[in-house]
């Protein structure tokens, strides 16, 4: 029995609120039709798809699973470690992007009167991040007698691998190339006139010659191993009579091949199919066999201007980071700019721009996980140094105010 | 199509009490079209899910749950104010104090009143329809009763 029955006005109030409806709108067949329609749709959904469609779904799921595992492994293996700085200083300097400032992991022996300044340059982390190679020596007359060294990641166990003389020091950039398996190091070595490329085992042993830079060749520099470890790419400085360019050569020293005339600073794409480099036209890319050469940063450069240079592929091979030095500005000065773009030259984006009076720089490099970029610029001593920035241009941070850096190498944090 | 065994029973309920279902749905949604749609879809839900009915509660209460849920969804979807509140403010009628008090009831109390008065459901059927305990139906009805009586007596005074 309802407790509302004692309220005589309630019925009237509710009737006023919601008047009695019209039962003539009842339509049972409409209800049944709604059920039938839904059932039909459900039955269609349940119908077994064609075997080819099922196979495609299985393959797609398998691909997604493998991609997920690969990505997780990639991120796990390629996590960011320390950044090593090379330059005009007698120590191998290292900075943790997320930690305190610089610290030295390897230096020079005690200085003796009459000896020149000691330099540690061209640091290069091994692919697994457990070792670091570098060149070290003292200025003090010509020819130079620098040597190639390797040490553990913490700077202990320094071992001299080879005398390399100038070791490519008069050409800005990285001249040490680790093989992908971490067993070999390629480097520039001079014979008193020209520099050729040599290869040594990372554990020591007798180096072997890779290239022969003779007449009409001023030097072979910046060796880079292909991702499959079978070939190397390098730049050859030529002469007026015989211009240099970008060459490839097999790891055993055979198969020397010119793939682009006049370029420098070559880098393999992560998939090994292409090589990016710079020349008087800016950044260009060419297939590994020398075909399909195309400019990525077309433009006209005024007298005294330097085209974009020093390309570096992102670890996933989709983007390139490069350096631009627009100018000349006041008193023949230059700016430093860091740009990224897609592998086909589209989607250019400027991430950084310094003030005028660029003095030193180290070309930009990607972090092992591809999320950040590191570079060094020195213009204003108060504002210069080594920086990291997110690949999307956010989060610029100065890691160090040390302004005399010409090479950077970002360590892949060792497993465990 | 093979019709499950409960279909005739649900159809009988539809034919016998369509007006009550439509009225409760209208009390919830606030307009006739949405109410009719809620009743039709609610009964279609009942037919589709009839094999899921456990038989532990009254079938009519379970069908009411389908319709009430549809009506509540329709109201949420339309972002309508409680229909009684709309009527209270429409200005065309000089509503009684009791109607105003009804409009001010919390949603569950209003629903319980509608189901009790419009649908003439027993407590356990209301409990099944609103997915609450039978004791909660009783307490809710008493709360609604107290609210309405207080307002009614104030109006009489």
What CATH number is attached to the domain comprising B45? Answer: 1.20.140.160
Establish if B2 belongs to a structural domain. no
Establish if B66 belongs to a structural domain. yes
Q: What is the percent of chain A with per-residue pLDDT over 90, rounded to a whole number?
A: 44
Q: What is the pLDDT of residue B151?
A: 58
Provide the whole-model pTM.
0.60
Indicate whether this complex's ipTM tops 0.90.
no
Give yes or no for B78 touching A (CB within 8 A): no
The larger pLDDT score, comparing residue B152 to residue A209, is at A209
Kindly identify which residue of chain B lies nearest to residue A26, measuring between CA atoms.
B18
Which domain covers residue B73, as residue numbers?
A: 7-156
Residues in chain B: 157
Give yes or no for B147 touching A (CB within 8 A): no
Contact B148 A4 (CB under 8 A): yes
Cross-strand pairs, A360: A378
Contact between B101 and B153 under an 8 Å Cβ cutoff? The reply is: no
Total CB pairs under 8 A between chain A and B? 91
- B35 neighbourhood in chain A, CB within 8 Å: 21
Establish if B52 belongs to a structural domain. yes
Contact B15 A17 (CB under 8 A): no
Q: State yes or no: cis peptide before A310, omega within 30 of 0.
A: no
Q: Please, which residues have CB within 8 angstroms of residue A198's CB and are 6 or more apart in sequence?
A: A162, A164, A186, A187, A188, A189, A207, A208, A209, A210
Q: What is the pLDDT of residue B88?
A: 40
The b-or-e profile of A283-309 (16+ CB within 10 A means b, else e) is: bbbbebebeebeebbeeeeeeeebbbb
Per-domain residue ranges for chain A?
81-216
The tens digit of pLDDT for each residue in B93-148 reads 455 677 777 777 787 888 888 888 777 888 888 888 888 888 888 888 888 877 77
A281 pLDDT band, cuts 50/70/90, is confident
Indicate the CATH number for domain A81-216.
2.120.10.30
Give yes or no for A29 touching B (CB within 8 A): no
Give me the residue label for tokens 């200005």: B91
Phi-psi region of A154 (alpha: psi -120 to 50; beta: other; left: phi over 0): alpha
Q: What is the pLDDT of residue B85?
A: 40
- Lowest-confidence pick of A35-39, A123-127, B30-34: A35-39
Indicate whether A124 pLDDT > 90.
Answer: yes
Q: What is the mean pLDDT of chain B?
A: 76
Distance (Å, whole) CA A255 – CA A391 = 37
Q: State yes or no: cis peptide before A143, omega within 30 of 0.
A: yes
The tens digit of pLDDT for each residue in A328-349 reads 777 767 888 999 999 999 999 9
**How many domains, in total, are found in chain B?**
1
Establish if B1 belongs to a structural domain. no
A2 pLDDT band, cuts 50/70/90, is very low
Give me the residue label for tokens 């086909």: A344
| Chain centre to alpha carbon of residue A29 | 67
Q: What phi and psi, each to the nearest 5 degrees, are found at residue A170?
A: -90, 10
Indicate whether B84 pLDDT > 70.
Answer: no
């Amino acid at each position: 029995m309802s407790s509302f029955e004692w309220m005589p006005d309630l019925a009237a109030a509710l009737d006023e609120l919601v008047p009695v409806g019209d039962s003539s709108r009842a339509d049972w067949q409409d209800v049944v039709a709604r059920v039938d329609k839904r059932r039909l749709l459900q039955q269609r959904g349940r119908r077994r798809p064609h075997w080819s469609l099922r196979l495609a779904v299985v393959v797609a799921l398998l691909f997604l699973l493998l991609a997920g595992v690969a990505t997780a492994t990639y991120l796990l293996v390629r996590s960011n470690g320390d950044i090593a700085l090379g330059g005009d200083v007698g120590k191998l300097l290292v900075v943790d992007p997320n930690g305190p400032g610089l610290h030295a992991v390897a230096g020079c022996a005690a200085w003796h009167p009459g000896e020149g300044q000691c330099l540690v340059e061209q640091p290069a982390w091994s692919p697994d991040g457990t070792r670091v190679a570098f060149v070290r020596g003292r200025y003090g007359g010509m020819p130079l007698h620098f040597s190639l060294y390797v040490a553990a990641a913490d700077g202990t166990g320094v071992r001299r691998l080879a005398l390399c003389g100038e070791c490519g020091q008069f050409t800005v950039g990285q001249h040490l190339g680790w093989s992908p398996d971490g067993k070999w190091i390629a480097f520039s070595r001079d014979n008193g006139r020209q520099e050729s490329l040599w290869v040594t085992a990372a554990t020591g042993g007798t180096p072997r010659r890779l290239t022969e830079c003779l007449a009409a060749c001023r030097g072979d520099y910046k060796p880079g191993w292909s991702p499959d470890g079978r070939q190397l790419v390098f730049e050859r400085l030529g002469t007026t009579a015989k211009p240099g360019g970008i060459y490839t050569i097999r790891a055993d020293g055979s198969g020397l091949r010119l793939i682009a005339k006049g370029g420098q600073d070559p880098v393999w794409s992560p998939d090994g199919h292409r090589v990016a480099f710079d020349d008087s036209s800016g950044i260009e890319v060419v297939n590994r066999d020398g075909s399909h050469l195309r400019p990525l940063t077309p433009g006209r450069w005024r007298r005294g201007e330097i085209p974009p240079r020093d390309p570096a592929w992102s670890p996933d091979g989709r983007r390139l980071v490069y350096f631009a030095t627009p100018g000349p500005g006041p008193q023949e000065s230059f700016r430093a700019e860091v740009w990224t773009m897609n592998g086909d030259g589209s989607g250019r984006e400027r991430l950084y721009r310094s003030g005028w009076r660029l003095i030193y720089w180290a070309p930009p490099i990607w972090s092992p996980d591809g999320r950040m970029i590191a570079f060094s610029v020195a213009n204003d001593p108060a504002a210069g140094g080594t920086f990291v920035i997110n690949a999307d241009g956010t989060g610029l941070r100065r890691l160090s105010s040390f302004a005399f850096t010409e090479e950077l190498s970002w360590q892949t944090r060792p497993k465990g | 199509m093979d019709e499950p065994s409960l279909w005739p029973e649900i159809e009988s309920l539809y034919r016998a009490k369509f007006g009550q279902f439509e009225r409760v749905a209208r009390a919830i949604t606030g307009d006739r079209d949405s109410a009719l749609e809620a009743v039709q879809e609610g009964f279609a839900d009942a037919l589709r899910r009839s094999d899921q009915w456990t038989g532990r509660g009254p079938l009519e209460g379970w069908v009411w749950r389908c319709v009430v849920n549809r009506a509540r969804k329709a109201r949420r979807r339309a972002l309508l104010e409680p229909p009684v509140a709309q009527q209270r403010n429409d200005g065309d009628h000089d509503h009684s104090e009791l109607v105003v008090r009804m409009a001010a009831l919390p949603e569950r109390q209003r629903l319980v009143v509608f189901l009790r008065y419009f649908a003439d459901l027993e407590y356990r059927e209301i409990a099944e329809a609103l997915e609450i305990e039978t004791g909660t139906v009783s307490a809710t009805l008493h709360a609604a009763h107290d609210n309405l009586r207080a307002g009614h007596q104030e109006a009489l005074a």
